[in-house]
């Protein structure tokens, strides 16, 4: 039996298998928007195939239908998630939008979702802007919420921003034949691979840890080839394409993903422990401080949240090394106030009911020295208390 290569090895080589045969070391960046062809009949035939969501071999036709650089990133991410295919989009919200539109197009616009979710994801479902109808359900109560027109069950685990973990295998069993879409942004395929636990589709805001340097926007869905064809159709007609430069940066980001995520996870775990012992911190949210689903995540992950008895806005104003900014997953440590930023768009009552209090702060650990981060954070905690 052939030994399966470790994820760290595959992260370096995925999407690059043909480079030696091409005489290249770095993956090429193809910025073309269109691709000339003297055979317009063959080009018409290929465009007919591309419009169905299939990706036929041969040269591209038009940048909105496919790009070789983006395709390398898709191939690599699918391999790391253990899925047949992946489809990349301009942002994580564009990727989620395509998944919801696919359910609507199939005549199954009802969605069952588990809170908490990223605030804009929550708003998109609650607003019904795409023609979907949502039922919010807790794990263990999803099955009774399913209907004949349920096209999707959506979960984010660990959840943004409370880091709540959901047992994916148990949830997938509840879903039955309804596909489970798992947002894996916080964990990445380094720490968990939802497809191994029954999820049919895996969503990422690639802007976060996959890119890893705060300089690229993107989203991606890993799934089977049948679902990928539908998502490609939607991407083709809506134009929510990932720019080739973004695809290039995301593929480069995957090579260091295991190193970055594991290092940041160790830092987050240490900060969570120190925060739990700090007199100005009333509550800490991190998978290491609560019971967890067995065998699902490798570690607690690189994101944590905490509540302070002082003014959270004063704390954000007081940090000097930590970056006070929205988003997460960068090489530098980021801190933000979810009720004001990432989850501001939610109804305040829904926000409170899902555990997002006005004193909650979310921190995404970066790659700095943990003692330097703690010196900055503890000083800011004391300043906020004053």
Catalytic residue among 10, 30, 35, 64: 64
Separation of CA 350 from chain center: 22
Catalytic residue among 208, 235, 351, 362: 208
Question: How would DSSP label each residue in 83-129?
Answer: -SEEEEESSHHHHHHHHHHHHHHTT--EEEE-S---HHHHHHHHHTT
Tell me whether residue 141 is one of the annotated catalytic residues: no
Tell me whether residue 208 is one of the annotated catalytic residues: yes
CB contact at 8 A, 251 and 69: yes
The Cα 214–Cα 208 span in angstroms is 7
Catalytic residue among 46, 183, 232, 248: 183
CB contact at 8 A, 365 and 306: no
Spatial CB neighbours of 158, under 8 Å, sequence gap ≥ 6: 164, 165, 186, 187, 287, 297, 301, 303
The Cα 332–Cα 58 span in angstroms is 41
Catalytic residue among 115, 118, 248, 362: 118
Does residue 161 have a cis peptide bond before it, meaning omega lies within 30 degrees of 0?
Answer: yes
Tell me whether residue 183 is one of the annotated catalytic residues: yes
Going from the C-alpha of 362 to that of each of 301, 343, 357, the distances in angstroms are 13, 11, 11
Residues tagged active-site: 64, 118, 183, 208
């Amino acid at each position: 039996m052939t030994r399966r290569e470790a994820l760290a090895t595959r992260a370096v080589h995925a999407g690059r298998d043909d480079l030696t045969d091409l005489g290249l070391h770095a993956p090429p960046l193809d910025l073309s928007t269109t691709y000339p062809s003297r055979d317009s009949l063959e080009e018409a035939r290929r465009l007919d195939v591309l419009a169905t969501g299939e990706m036929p071999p041969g040269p591209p036709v038009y940048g909105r239908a496919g790009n070789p650089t983006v395709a390398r990133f898709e191939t690599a991410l699918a391999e790391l998630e253990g899925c047949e295919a992946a489809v990349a989009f301009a942002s994580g919200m564009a990727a989620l939008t395509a998944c919801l539109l696919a359910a609507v197009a199939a005549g199954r616009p009802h969605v069952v979702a588990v809170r908490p979710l990223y605030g804009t994801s929550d708003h998109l479902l609650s607003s019904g802007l795409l023609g979907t109808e949502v039922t919010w359900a807790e794990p263990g109560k999803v099955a009774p919420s399913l209907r004949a027109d349920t096209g999707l069950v959506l979960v984010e685990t660990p959840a943004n921003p409370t880091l709540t973990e959901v047992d994916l295998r148990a949830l997938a069993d509840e879903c039955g034949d309804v596909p489970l879409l798992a947002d894996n942004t916080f964990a990445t395929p380094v720490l968990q691979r939802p497809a191994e636990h029954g999820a049919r589709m895996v969503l990422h805001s690639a802007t976060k840890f996959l890119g890893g340097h705060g300089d690229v926007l993107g989203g991606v869905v890993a799934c089977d080839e049948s679902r990928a064809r539908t998502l490609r159709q939607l991407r083709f007609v809506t134009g929510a394409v990932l720019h080739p430069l973004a695809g290039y940066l995301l593929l480069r980001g995957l090579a260091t993903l295991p190193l970055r995520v594991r290092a940041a996870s160790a830092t987050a775990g240490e900060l969570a422990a120190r925060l739990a012992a700090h007199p100005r911190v009333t509550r800490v949210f991190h998978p290491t401080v609560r019971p967890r689903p067995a065998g699902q995540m490798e570690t607690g992950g690189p994101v944590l949240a905490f509540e302070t008895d002082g003014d959270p806005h004063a704390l954000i104003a007081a940090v000097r090394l930590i970056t006070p900014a929205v988003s997460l997953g960068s090489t530098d440590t980021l801190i933000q106030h979810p009720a004001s930023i990432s989850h501001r768009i939610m109804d305040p009552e829904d926000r409170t009911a899902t555990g997002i209090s006005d004193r909650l702060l979310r921190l995404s650990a970066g790659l700095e020295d943990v003692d330097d981060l703690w010196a900055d954070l503890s000083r800011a905690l004391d300043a906020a208390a004053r």
